Every structure is written in C-alpha cells, then in structure tokens.
Amino acid sequence: MSLNLSFDPLTNPASLCLSAPILALFAFLGYVAVAFIKDQADARQQQTRTEAALATFRVDRMSQAEFRQFVAGLLQKQGYTVRLPPGHDEAERDSGLELIAVKDRASYVVCAVRYNKPLSPGTIRYANDRRARYACDAAMVITNGAFGADARKLAQETGCALVGRAELAGWVAGEEAQ
C-alpha cells in the first residue's frame, strides 16, 4: 500500500483540510490590509479637510484675542449667547481666554486657547476653576491644537467638554456642536 502525499484536492481530499484554512487566512489578511489602507486614506482626507477649513480663516496665525473672538462667533452660530465674564478689565479683554456661553439654560465657561502644542491638565484645571469662579454649570476648552492624554483624562473625570482641532474644523465647516 502506498501513501498519496499529493496536495491536489482532486486526488487527495485530505489536502482540502489544509488548503481551506490557509485560503481563508489569506482572504482575511487581504481584507484587513484593504480596510487598513482605506482607513489611512480616510484619515488623510479628513486631515486635509481640517487643515483647509482652518486655513481659510488663518486660525493658526490669529492672536489669542482674535481666536477668542473667532470662537465666540462660532458659538453664536451654534445658538449660544456669548459674553465676556464679569469683572474683566481692558487688559483681560485683549488677552483673556474666557467667555461665558449660555444655551438651553445651561451656562458654560469657555476657555478659548490658541496653542500649537498639546494642552496639559493645567488648562483643564484652569477651566474648572473658572467654572466655579463664575458659577457656571460646566466648563469647555476649545483649541486649535490638541489635548494631551493626561488632559483628556482629567477632562473626562471632571466633565469638562473638549473641542480640539478636528472638531473646531467641523464647526468652521458648519457642522453642529455635540
């Protein structure tokens, strides 16, 4: 009696047991590769849209005061009533971060921060301190940049809303705030 060592499924049905899983593995890997490439392309496309939206208004070249005014306008388009906090003197009006925004009976202290590096937890602590100082319901930090991991963690723990570069670009493009 001789053994058939052929891997041809027509002459050796046992070879199907090996070839089917291998074929399925390659099909799965191909699917994963295509999905990864598509996700990368989508991310690049989103990044391009973000940069284009923000470049239109030269957000990265604004002064801090101009950025705060820009954010105030975006909040007003979202249906917020926006004002400066009480007690701000002229110097603070020119360089301050804070705004008070009210929508649906909820008041927010908004810290508009134009910065080109990831924001730290100190910014979140500052926003929460201002929330207490101005007796607002919540705090929100809006930036043309990003948030560091520790800042995101603290914001989640304290309920501080974060609006980063991509979300800001969405607002510029006319998408509604969450």
Q: Do 28 and 83 fall within a single domain?
A: no
Q: Do 48 and 71 fall within a single domain?
A: no
The residue among 54, 67, 124 whose CA lies nearest residue 94 is 67
pLDDT tens digit sequence for 30-76 = 777 777 777 666 656 665 655 555 655 688 888 999 999 999 999 99
Structure tokens at 56: 């239109």
In a domain, 6, yes or no: no
Q: Do 107 and 136 fall within a single domain?
A: yes
**Which whole-number Å values give the CA distances from 54 to 36, 58, 63, 158, 169, in the listed order?**
27, 6, 14, 29, 6
pLDDT tens digit sequence for 129-167 = 999 999 999 999 999 999 999 999 999 999 999 999 888
Q: Do 122 and 158 fall within a single domain?
A: yes
Q: Do 88 and 120 fall within a single domain?
A: yes
Per the structure, the count of domains in the chain is 2
- Rounded to two decimals, the pTM is 0.68
Residue 143, helix vs strand vs coil: strand
Q: Do 47 and 72 fall within a single domain?
A: no
- Residue 88's CB is within 10 A of a number of other CB atoms, namely 13
Domain of 148, CATH number, reads 3.40.1350.10
